[in-house]
Structure 1
């Protein structure tokens, strides 16, 4: 929660420190946008989880995160405020590596799709450069496939949490941009989605952290 508060303070500072660049914001950072995203994704046990045990479990998995994003930005007195959403997936999965099992309390899984809905606030620090902070809701899945050699059991962990982050956007021209950002997500509630006719489980407490460094290229209309 301290990380979330720190990022919100950073976003507020950005908005209050907005220079007189309203015209550049209108030209380069306002209106609907669509973007392609790719980056590094690490999923790990949160601070309340200790799953080391006898297996020397390092409690993490990592991979490539990729997806698409949509958004709409407004100029409010020179500050840029926007709404945004994302669909991403990841190649991160648990593995055995020289006897070290990366399970972080969920067993053998791979990261599934991740949905995000949130907002951002920023300020142009140059006519073509926007510095921003962001935050919102995220829903992620961990995919599980278990087999005893005869029967397969497919199920997903469906996780709810919050996300906060910060980044920089560079306007190549009024219609094309590049961006780089860091995001932190924490998942605190989950349920098991069973494959087939079985009902979903009751919701339960979890503590799962996600760190991502993402790059994007997009178009503004």
Structure 2
């Protein structure tokens, strides 16, 4: 649940289910691509609309230690009915146990 700026526009739902496939590029680097379904609901001035589309992207995971990794990922969501899309870039830290 996110509010975008002071314009009264709210991103009230952003859900996705994706398939991710990767390969070991080096012993410490995993490269991956992903594709899946996304649904987003946007509300402005009390009126809401839901949009569906395809989410795709890719990224890298670097094994900092055997149980810790650092990741960077880009993803694009293209919505139906030619209304455009959105881009997102993410960085993160993960732990394997």
* d(CA) in 2 for partners of 1:126, 1:91: 40
Within the candidate set 12, 21, 27, 1:121 is matched to 21
2:89 maps to 1:213: yes
Aligned partners of 1:93 and 1:111 also within 8 Å? no
Higher relative contact order (CA 8 A, sep 6+): 1
Q: Give the alignment partner of residue 141 of structure 1, picking from 41, 46, 51.
A: 41
Aligned match for 1:174, one of 62, 66, 71: 66
Higher strand share: 2
| 1:171–1:178 contact (8 Å) kept in structure 2 | yes
1:92 corresponds to:
4
Report the count of equivalent residues.
Answer: 97
In the TM superposition, 1:178-193 aligns within 5 A as 178-188=70-80
- After superposition, the C-alpha distances for 1:105-155 in whole angstroms (9 at most, x for unaligned) are xxx62323311101111111111111111110111111222xxxxxxxx33
Question: TM-score, normalization: structure 1?
Answer: 0.40
Contact 1:184 1:210 in 2 (8 A): yes
Cα offset, 1:206, TM superposition: 5.3
Which structure's CA Rg is the greater one? 1
Deviation for aligned residue 1:208 = 2.7
1:1-221 alignment runs, 5 A limit: 89-93=1-5, 95=7, 109-145=9-45, 154-188=46-80, 205=81, 207-221=83-97
Aligned partner of residue 137 in structure 1, secondary structure? strand
In the alignment, structure 2 segments of 5+ residues that lack a partner are none
Whether the 8 Å contact between 2:3 and 2:9 is mirrored in structure 1 is: no
Higher helix share: 1
Q: Unpaired segments of 5 or more residues in structure 1?
A: 1-88, 96-107, 146-153, 189-204
Alpha-carbon RMSD across the aligned residues, in angstroms, is 2.1
